[in-house]
């Protein structure tokens, strides 16, 4: 009898196709990660030169300009969910994203920055110790703790108009926060030497025009946003193909991906020994997240927080309080204080997933 012809069984072909698709998504995610890295290097170089040409202090550069720019990827997702998608599901996703961003920054963001200090200790002028402008960072962390605590308490208000009032107060508070950073004059000490602006590398001995710094910072920011979006999309595809629990995706993968810009920028700056910029990039983003997106949530949703939301907020507040305590003790900061943020993240996952 003639043997039956044909290829491998259909289910084998499906498995091969799925494996191939998974590897394609992983490859694109790796490429997106490279785009984020290059864009962050481009952005930090441009934003530092922008601050230098405007004679801005480190607090305004790291805690406002860099922080707001790199906070856009994780801010856009919940805002679109609330304002565009809408409905119950859109509001749930939006509130979860709003509450999750400060948590990721206050745990994994701190951890990656502290780890970067240890990894680059030999090339840093102060080794494993971080020398920071404590007054700048104390202001950041103090404002974040106050604003975020108010945001959590607002969930207990019975009337929506009361939540709208709180939203207005948070917006005004953020304006005053930014004004204070920009009201400080240039730093008194001699500013550190900067690498030449990449767009003007050939004219490295000439102060670049502010237009070039704005263009380079804008290009870096666009690359960061597109890279983060592409990274999340491909990781989502991998999880879908492998049948991963969507809750795991929402709690771990997507937040980590959207917070990559702050983490990479901070590592770049600690590698260069610019510790105030590195920490300010994270703490400034936390202040932004606790005021602007929270205000949108208060204005356009019922702002009812779930167990995981409150738990993540408590972890972020405790982690920030630990950092604030260390800053109150002096201008030097141990990277181990930042690395301790990993413990808060692990505790949160343990309590939520179990």
- Tens digit of pLDDT for each residue in 285-329? 999 999 999 999 999 988 988 888 889 899 999 999 999 999 998
Token pair 């994994």 is found at 108
Q: What is the model's pTM?
A: 0.79
**pLDDT score of 111:** 93
Residue 131, beta-bridge partner list:
332
Average pLDDT over residues 235-261: 63
Q: Say how far apart CA 280 and CA 262 lie, in whole Å.
A: 10
Examine the pLDDT at 156 and tell me if it is beyond 90. yes
* Stretch among 83-87, 138-142, 168-172, 243-247 having the lowest mean pLDDT: 243-247
Closest listed residue to residue 62, CA positions, set 269, 272, 281, 275: 281
- pLDDT of 85: 66
Give, for 332, the enclosing helix (H) or strand (E).
strand 332-333
Q: Which of 233, 189, 243 is nearest to 35 (CA)?
A: 233
Q: What is the DSSP string of 118-130?
A: HHTGGGSTTTT-E
Using the Cα atoms of residue 71, residue 240, residue 231 and residue 268 in order, give the sign of their dihedral: positive
Can you read off the two tokens belonging to residue 168?
């207005």
Q: Mean pLDDT over all residues of the chain?
A: 81
The pLDDT of 208-223, averaged and rounded, is 87
Domains, the chain, with CATH or none? 14-185+205-353 (1.20.1420.30)
Q: What is the largest CA-CA distance in the chain?
A: 93
Residues 110-124 have a mean pLDDT of 92
């Amino acid at each position: 009898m003639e043997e039956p012809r044909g290829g491998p069984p259909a289910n084998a072909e499906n498995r091969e196709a799925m494996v191939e698709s998974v590897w394609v998504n992983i490859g694109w995610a790796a490429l997106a990660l490279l785009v984020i890295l290059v864009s962050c290097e481009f952005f930090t170089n441009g934003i530092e030169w922008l601050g230098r040409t405007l004679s801005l202090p480190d607090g305004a550069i790291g805690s406002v300009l860099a922080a707001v720019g790199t906070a856009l990827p994780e801010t856009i997702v919940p805002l679109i969910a609330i304002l565009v998608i809408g409905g119950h599901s859109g509001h749930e996703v939006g509130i979860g994203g709003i509450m999750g961003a400060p948590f990721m920054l206050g745990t994994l963001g701190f951890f990656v920055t502290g780890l970067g200090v240890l990894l680059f200790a030999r090339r840093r002028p102060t080794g494993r110790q971080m020398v920071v402008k404590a007054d700048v960072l104390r202001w950041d962390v103090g404002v974040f703790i106050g604003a975020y605590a108010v945001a959590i308490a607002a969930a207990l208000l019975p009337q929506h108009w009361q939540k709208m009032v709180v939203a207005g107060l948070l917006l005004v508070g953020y304006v005053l926060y930014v004004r204070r950073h920009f009201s400080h004059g240039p730093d008194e000490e001699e500013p550190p030497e900067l690498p030449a602006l990449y767009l003007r590398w050939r004219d490295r001995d000439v102060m670049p025009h502010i237009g070039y710094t704005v263009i380079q910072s804008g290009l870096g920011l666009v690359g960061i946003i597109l890279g983060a979006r592409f990274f999340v999309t491909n990781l989502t595809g991998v999880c879908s193909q492998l049948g991963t629990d969507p809750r795991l995706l929402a709690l771990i993968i997507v937040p980590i991906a959207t917070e990559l810009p702050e983490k990479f920028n901070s590592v770049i700056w600690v590698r260069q020994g610019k510790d105030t910029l590195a920490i300010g990039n994270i703490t400034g983003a936390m202040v932004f997240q606790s005021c602007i997106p929270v205000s949108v949530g208060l204005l356009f949703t019922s702002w009812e927080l779930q167990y995981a939301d409150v738990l993540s907020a408590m972890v972020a507040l405790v982690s920030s309080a630990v950092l604030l305590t260390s800053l109150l003790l002096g201008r030097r900061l141990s990277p181990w204080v930042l690395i301790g943020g990993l413990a808060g993240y692990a505790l949160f996952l343990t309590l939520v997933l179990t």
